[in-house]
Amino acid sequence: MKSTIRQDDRSETGVMAGGDRWVAGLEEAIDAALRALRRNPSGSPAIHQVRVAVPYMDPLDWLRAQPETQRLFWCGRDESDARAAVGIALDVRLGEGDPYQVIRRTLTPLLRDADPGVRFFGGMRFDLDRDAAAEWEGFGAGRFVLPRFVLEPAEAGSTLVCNLVVPADLDQPAAICQQAARLAEPLASQYALPVPIARQDVPVHDAWAATIDRAIQRFASGALEKVVLARRSRFTFAERLDATLLLQRLQAATPHCFHFLFQFDADAQFLGASPERLYQREGRRIRSEAVAGTRPRGASQERDAELKRELLHSDKDRREQAFVRDNIEEALRALCVDVRVDDEPRLMELAKGRHLCTLIEGSLADSAGDADILERLHPTPAVGGVPLGEAMQDIRAGEGFDRGWYAGPVGWIGRDRAEFAVGIRSGQVSPRALTLYAGAGIVRGSEAEKEWAEIEHKISDFLTVLGLDLRDVKY
């Protein structure tokens, strides 16, 4: 069960009780750690953590209160894995060329001797061969950041972690302590999210239908077996939209999903509630999921059971899901000494929908690292297509926009563990706009109207928390 802040943990002004004390304790611990590190300097870059126990704070409440423009949030399917963070201690930008080599040459050596609790959070573009559009420039081809401050759950209360990078941080104790002093800002009060006043889709309905028809013709010729085509739906507002409040409401409405937010500057934030795990690594064990095929939940038990049977026995959906399963299995067999694949797909049950899902597990070879896993797995046919090269050509030609980090891998890398979700069911928040991205897998037997409706269903979680009925928004 999710913990809550007790009434006596808050002051009348909404500031956490004891905030001055724990901030002072954190500053003292940072100063003491830096003095000790200066006495015993290390020749090579290293990461050190300062950890201080604090009263329980809801991670997204705390994040909303922070004045920093560099913020992030990650929570796996288990809420005990939630991490909220502000500031950047180390910024690893993947840049042009081979982004996976940057992970191998920079992140892997840094993590080799790091505390097991150290995590680099980040993600990558869906299409690494395409130039970023203006709205995605700040995200780059990919970025992994070591946050300056991280709020973590603890058995009793919370833990505030300060990440120090030496030798770079040895000469700036005052600046780091200044940042720490702002961490006890008043907790944000609840308020209503604004309602969108306009909507614009790219591509529009008729262009979307024509793109689907062209894909179906290519299936008939044998040039293509599956392509995932996405839409961008931009909603504008008369007032500012708070991304952290939106995510907080979205998290409550979408249990059992991966929830994330990445903000690298004041103007753009990428957030989402993805049901799809790309992979989870625990030591040398790896787990992935092949997810595809979609049905909404029914309004009654009878209708829900009917939709469940329909998905389980749909030839079109099972073929679509099999493409993903076979691709992930092939990728993991190239990285693992053994691989186990479920015989039959199971149902992934969500609050408002369900998918076909196959669990795939293995033991990684000693030579395989997170860069190798990402390079092999991304993009899966769940977000790209089969064959991949042909599908990417159709995506670039037919969508008319830059996916950016949508459908790319998002998550974190640590020394002994890592976890990534596929960045679907996601959107980008700018001050007065929310741009949502969602796609549908197109295979032989697909129908344009049904695929359009599927995408409407996939963005409905966002619109529901905004208090909006899809029928109320003009296209």
Q: Express the helix, strand and coil content of the chain in percent, nearest 5 each.
A: 35, 30, 35
- Rounded to the nearest 10 degrees, the angle between the axes of helix 205-221 and helix 448-465 is 130
- What is the reported pLDDT for 470? 55
DSSP β-ladder status, 71-75 and 46-54: unpaired
Q: Evaluate whether 405 touches 94 at the Cβ level (below 8 Å).
A: no
DSSP β-ladder status, 409-413 and 417-422: antiparallel
- What is the reported pLDDT for 10? 35
Q: Which one from 27, 68, 152, 226 is the annotated catalytic residue? A: 226
- Nearest CA to 431 out of 43, 66, 69 is that of 69
- What is the reported pLDDT for 440? 93
DSSP 58-89: -HHHHHHH---S-EEEEE-SSGGG-EEEEEEE
Is 316 annotated as catalytic? no
Alpha-carbon separation of residue 72 from 97, 110, 183, 233, 260 (angstroms): 26, 21, 14, 23, 7
- What is the reported pLDDT for 232? 97
Give the C-alpha separation, 99 to 142, whole Å.
7
Would you tell me how many other CB atoms lie within 10 Å of the CB of residue 28?
14
- What is the reported pLDDT for 395? 95
- Nearest CA to 90 out of 163, 173, 176 is that of 163
- What is the reported pLDDT for 469? 65
- What is the reported pLDDT for 1? 27
Angular region, 396: left φ>0, alpha ψ -120 to 50, beta rest = alpha
Give the C-alpha separation, 268 to 401, whole Å.
17
- What is the reported pLDDT for 320? 93
| Ramachandran angles phi, psi of 228, nearest 5° | -100, 115
- What is the reported pLDDT for 13? 36
Q: Evaluate whether 231 touches 455 at the Cβ level (below 8 Å).
A: yes
- What is the reported pLDDT for 152? 95
- What is the reported pLDDT for 9? 38
Find all residues with CB under 8 Å of 330, minimum gap 6, and list them: none
Give the C-alpha separation, 333 to 164, whole Å.
38
- Rounded to the nearest 10 degrees, the angle between the axes of helix 19-39 and helix 173-181 is 160
- What is the reported pLDDT for 347? 95
Find all residues with CB under 8 Å of 214, minimum gap 6, and list them: 394, 398
C-alpha dihedral over 430, 433, 434, 439, to 10 degrees? Answer: -110
CB-based burial label for 407 (10 Å; 0-12, 13-18, 19+): buried
Amino acid at 182: R
Per-residue pLDDT 10s for the chain (475 aa) are 222 223 233 333 344 545 678 888 899 999 999 998 888 776 678 999 999 999 999 999 999 999 889 999 999 998 888 999 999 999 999 976 789 999 999 999 999 989 999 999 999 999 999 989 999 999 999 999 999 999 999 888 999 999 999 999 998 989 999 999 889 877 766 678 999 999 999 999 999 999 999 898 889 888 899 999 999 999 999 999 999 999 999 999 999 999 999 999 888 899 999 999 999 999 999 999 999 999 999 989 999 999 999 999 999 999 999 999 999 999 999 999 999 999 999 999 998 899 999 999 999 999 999 999 999 999 999 999 999 999 999 999 989 999 999 999 999 999 999 999 999 999 999 989 999 999 999 999 899 999 999 999 999 999 999 987 655 444 3
Rg (CA), the chain: 23
Is 226 annotated as catalytic? yes
Q: Which one from 152, 276, 320, 419 is the annotated catalytic residue? A: 276
